[in-house]
Structure 1
Amino acid sequence: MNFTHNNNAAMNPITEDDIADYLANTPDFFERHAQLLAQVQLTSPHGNRAVSLQERQAEMLREKIKALEHRVMDMVRHGTENVVTADRLQRWTRGLLTARDPRGLPLQMAGELQSLFMVPQIAIKVWDCDAVYGNEPYAQWVSDDVKAFATSLTTPYCGLNAGLEATAWLDDAKAAVSIALIPLRAEPSAPAFGLLVLASPDAQRFNPEMGTDFLERIADLASAALSRLRP
């Protein structure tokens, strides 16, 4: 008797991975043992009943098809949402381009953002304006801390309202649970000359994980339009 062979087998038993590797590398195994496929019984995920391998494969295929259908529907839904958002952005941009009175532009900008994108509260401040606009509400005193904070933002800030000074510009700061702070600047590396505040009672409306590409586009367009107020 070959005790060495028996000892090696005991010390290195065949594992499931060994079997899987063997079957993967021996594609003609089931051709030689076709009767095994008909004998294999698996547990159905839709109950405790046993099903054949072919039936289980059919169930898995149906599940994959269903998952693909859901993904396609999600893509269609997101595509539709993107078209709607692009249309609203175009309408907002058109309003900026056709505005004749620079004096009322900040309020028009905020009002149309609020109505087109259904943002509950919006506030805007612009500093270093031309002296002729100095008495407008949006050009009133802003602290150096807010100016420095706005300049420090390289991208819009999104998150919960932590009582930042700029939220005091809102009509109802207590109702602002989540906020987006959008700095306005003439050039990417230039100091901010204004700050746009978007606020919502929904804690998830402006969250730290959200993408800011759209808000950055808003910032670029708003900054370009409001440059008309500067000397």
Structure 2
Amino acid sequence: MNDVTPIEPQPTQLTEDVVAQFLMDHPDFFQQHPELLGRIKVDTPERGVVSLVEVQVSKLRDRIGDLEEEITQLMSLAAKNDRLFHDFANVQKQLLACENFSQAAKIIEQKALSLDLTAHIKIIDHSHPKYHVDKTALDNFIKKFLNGHSAYLGRLRKAERDSLLAYGGLDHSSAELGSFAILPLGQSQSIGVMAFASRDGRHFEPNMDTLFLEQLVSVFHYLLMQWSKSSHE
């Protein structure tokens, strides 16, 4: 029987990828060899040749700066949400003190104006043309734009906007490039919509939170049902 000569393993060719993979597989390498940190130099476009430690410190500073900016933005958003919460809570309190639709509609319209918005309240077959919406137009809008969602946020084409919201002096020039927040009055069987229009086309965008608006609409819809019930008793 012939002796088989064992095949010695060939040394792995040292490449950048091999070194990178080794360091990824051994994240504690520099902890075991701290003397290398000061000897490894990195050529950076901003500061020239610096040590690896300096690169790490610079990246940490940048990350801390990013985190501080994120915290500032979050604090600003929290402050804005706090103001909105108190504003909407106050509006809801005023609504609960109303005795009829006209009083409630006036409160919402005035609040919208204070926010540089225009409020539109539309109810199927309402006796006043300002608040009237055709049932077919409402059903078409709900089917196309809401379809189970609690609100529509964004722009509208002229025909779609007019069929739902138009009344007398609707300002077409300002609304043409504007944006809207439109919420149904009632989810399972809507009796109308409450809409807020802005001249700014980016004021209402699909990714916005609508919690406060939903609460406002919910309170308004509840009051509508109570006033309707009382009128039939």
Measure how far apart 1:100 and its partner are: 3.1
Give the RMSD, CA atoms, in angstroms.
Answer: 2.8
Give the letter aligned to residue 182 of structure 2. L
Within the candidate set 217, 220, 223, 1:222 is matched to 220
Letter in 1 for 2:49: A
Question: Normalising to structure 1: TM-score of the pair?
Answer: 0.77
Count how many residue pairs are aligned between Structure 1 and Structure 2.
Answer: 212
Corresponding position of 1:201: 199
User: Could you tell me how far 1:203 is from its partner in structure 2?
Assistant: 0.9
CA distance in 1, matches of 2:48, 2:62: 18
Identical columns (%) = 24
| Map 1:106-125 → 2, pairs under 5 A | 106-115=105-114, 118-125=115-122
CA deviation after TM superposition for structure 1 residue 62, in Å: 1.1
Provide, for residues 36-95 of structure 1, a one-character-per-residue CA deviation record: whole Å limited to 9, x for no partner: 3332111235x1511112211211121121112112212211111111110111111011
Say whether residues 1:25 and 2:26 are aligned partners: yes
Change (3 A) 1:56 1:196: same
Note the 1:113-192 alignment, pairs <5 A.
Answer: 113-115=112-114, 118-127=115-124, 134=127, 136-140=128-132, 142-149=133-140, 151-152=142-143, 153=146, 154=148, 155-163=150-158, 164=160, 165-169=163-167, 171-176=170-175, 177-185=178-186, 188-189=187-188, 191-192=189-190
Q: 1:122 to 1:30 in 2, by over 3 A?
A: closer
The Cα shift of 1:31 comes to 4.7
For the residue of structure 2 that corresponds to 1:50, the secondary structure is strand
- How much does 1:181 deviate? 1.8
Indicate if the aligned counterparts of 2:154 and 2:206 stay in contact, CA closer than 8 A.
yes
Unpaired runs of at least 5, structure 2: 1-6
Paired letter, 1:111: Q
- Cα distance in structure 2, aligned partners of 1:28 and 1:180: 56
1:8-47 Cα offsets, whole Å, 9 max, x none, are 56xx63343432343443846775682x3332111235x1
Once the two structures are superposed, what CA deviation does each residue of 1:172-214 show, in whole Å capped at 9, x if it has no partner? Answer: 13311211222102xx32x211211211111111223333333
TM-score scaled to structure 2, two decimals?
0.76
Secondary structure of the 1:39 match is coil
**CA distance change for structure 1 residues 128 and 229 in 2, over 3 Å: closer, same or farther?**
farther
In the alignment, is the contact (CA less than 8 A) between 2:138 and 2:164 conserved in 1? no
DSSP-derived class of the 1:108 partner: helix
In the alignment, the residues of structure 1 paired with residue 31 and residue 227 of structure 2 have an alpha-carbon distance, to the nearest angstrom, of: 79
Give the distance between the partners of 2:77 and 2:27, measured in 1 at CA: 45
| CA distance 1:43–1:17, change in 2 (3 Å) | same
Q: Any gaps of 5 or more consecutive residues in structure 1?
A: none
